[in-house]
Amino acid sequence: MVDLKVKLHDIEFKNPVTLASGTCGFARETAEFFEPGLLGGYFLKGTTLKNRDGNNYPRMAETPSGMLNAVGLQNKGIDYFIENIYPEIVDYDTQLIINVNGSTVEDYIALTEKVNELDKINAIELNISCPNVKEGGMAFGVSCPGAEMVTREVRRVYDKTMIVKLSPNVTNITEIAKAVEGQGADAVSLVNTFLGMAIDAEKREPLLSTITGGLSGPAIKPIALRMVWQVANAVKIPVVGIGGIMTAADAIEFMLAGASVVQVGTAIFKDPMIPVKIVEGIEDYLKRHNMQSASELIGALQV
């Protein structure tokens, strides 16, 4: 028997496979395909203090080995979540983590205070890296002072595990990681999407209503992997690896590079069963390599 359990700060995941925020709704949608308890956890859809309608259509463009999105944090706000969604998912036998977003520091604080009251939510993912909103989001995450400020202020009101989600759209991602570590982040997750663009040459128009959007999918994997490896070597807090994971081998590569937990994202648009196959694939890998525990993979890259 191999042990798939991994720890991230003080919370335990039954296996290292989780779903990325913005690609798994509120875990109810994938539950129509498979038992929610098969995965380690769910980083739920980015939530804000108030309702957000998101950006105009079109919000999506397919690109080689990936896609661009410009959803813009469409959600019904934290109060709707607490009243209507939380009761429905609270008994799922898995880690549920809320991805929190704000236009201002005050928004982040007010939202986090509400989330802090929810017993089943053991962690938040502080999103300072959404590329598709005009205010807040990535604006905080692309400078050390901005990232430090949001992390520090939210730390004051949040008692449980705080994971800060980092933007790859920076010159040196290790500097941002170290900055949020210094302000009390318990873990970092990376990467959010890469700012990109697509054009319809025939019409001479952009393919997205917002002109630019976030690139995800296997196209970004090598860059994301490099960033996870750099960050894992630069900070002492654990790392959540994200970026183009399609297979168990991809997930294992991120763990070898230093990730304690991985998030599967865009892959589920291609096949909603991929995350379950990745869990099985990691188990197979551990057996083949005579390893006892998934945690042995973390940072085990031989260089």
Partner 1 sequence: MPKKFVKEFNVIENSALNATNFLIKVQSDTEFPVIKPGQFVNIEVKEAQEIFLRRPFSIFEVDYENNVISMIVKILGRGSRKLTEVKVGSKLSMVYPLGKTFTYPSSDDKILLIGGGSGVAPMLFLAKESGLPVENVDILLGARSKEDHINVDSYKKYANLHYASEDGSLGEKGFVTQHSVFTNNLNSYTKIYACGPDGMMRAIAKEAKAANVFCEVSLENLMACGFGVCLCCIEPTTKGNLCVCTDGPVFNINDLKW
Q: Does 64 bind partner 1 (CB under 8 A)?
A: yes
End-to-end alpha carbon distance in the chain:
29
Q: Does 275 bind partner 1 (CB under 8 A)?
A: no
Using CB under 8 A as the binding criterion, the count of chain residues that bind partner 1 stands at 35
Q: Does 134 bind partner 1 (CB under 8 A)?
A: no
Footprint of partner 1 on residues 200-219 (CB under 8 A)?
217-218
Tell me the residue length of the chain. Answer: 303
The question of whether 144 is a catalytic residue gets the answer no
Sheet strands side by side (includes 212-216): 60-63, 66-69, 212-216, 194-197
Taking the least distance from each CB to partner 1, the nearer of 98 and 142 is 98
117 — phi, psi (to 5°)?
Answer: -80, -10
Taking the least distance from each CB to partner 1, the nearer of 69 and 129 is 69
The minimum distance between CB 256 and partner 1, in angstroms, equals 25
- Among the listed ranges 69-77, 97-105, 193-201, 235-243, the one in contact with partner 1 (CB under 8 A) is 69-77
Q: Does 221 bind partner 1 (CB under 8 A)?
A: no
265 is in an annotated binding site: yes
HSE-up of residue 280 (Cα within 13 Å, Cβ side): 5
Rounded Cα gap, residues 217 and 264, in angstroms: 10
Strand 66-69, strand 95-100: pairing: unpaired
7, 10, 12, 34: residue in contact with partner 1 (rule CB under 8 A): 34
Measuring CA to CA, which residue among 169, 110, 183 is closest to residue 141?
A: 169
Would you list which residues are annotated within the binding site for FMN?
21, 45-46, 99, 127, 165, 191, 217, 243-244, 265-266
